[in-house]
Amino acid sequence: MSYEIKTKTSSDYPYTYVEPVFLTQAGDNLLVSAAPVNEVYRVDLESREFDLISFNSKLTSNKVKITYPTVNPQYEGLYERWKQVSFYGFHWDEQSQLFWRKTNQTFVESETRPNKVHLTFFDKNLNQVGEFELPDDWKIQGPQFVIQGMYWQYINLNDEMAFARLKPKFNEK
Please give the residue range of the domain that contains residue 88. Answer: 4-166
Does residue 159 sit within a domain? Answer: yes
In degrees and rounded to multiples of 5, residue 8 shows phi and psi of -95, 130
Does residue 171 sit within a domain? Answer: no
Does residue 173 sit within a domain? Answer: no
Task: Name the pTM for this structure.
Answer: 0.78
Does residue 63 sit within a domain? Answer: yes
Does residue 91 sit within a domain? Answer: yes
* pLDDT tens column, 130-170: 998 887 666 555 567 777 777 777 777 788 887 777 777 76
Beta strands in 95-149 (DSSP E): 98-105, 116-122, 128-133, 144-147
* pLDDT tens column, 6-62: 555 555 666 677 788 999 999 999 999 999 999 999 999 999 999 999 999 999 999
Q: How many domains does the chain have?
A: 1
- What's the order of all strands across the beta sheet hosting 86-93? 86-93, 98-105, 116-122, 128-133
Does residue 47 sit within a domain? Answer: yes
**Nearest alpha-carbon partner for 83 in 169, 164, 163, 5:** 5
End-to-end CA distance of the chain: 39
DSSP, collapsed to helix, strand or coil, labels residue 118 as strand
Does residue 59 sit within a domain? Answer: yes
Does residue 172 sit within a domain? Answer: no
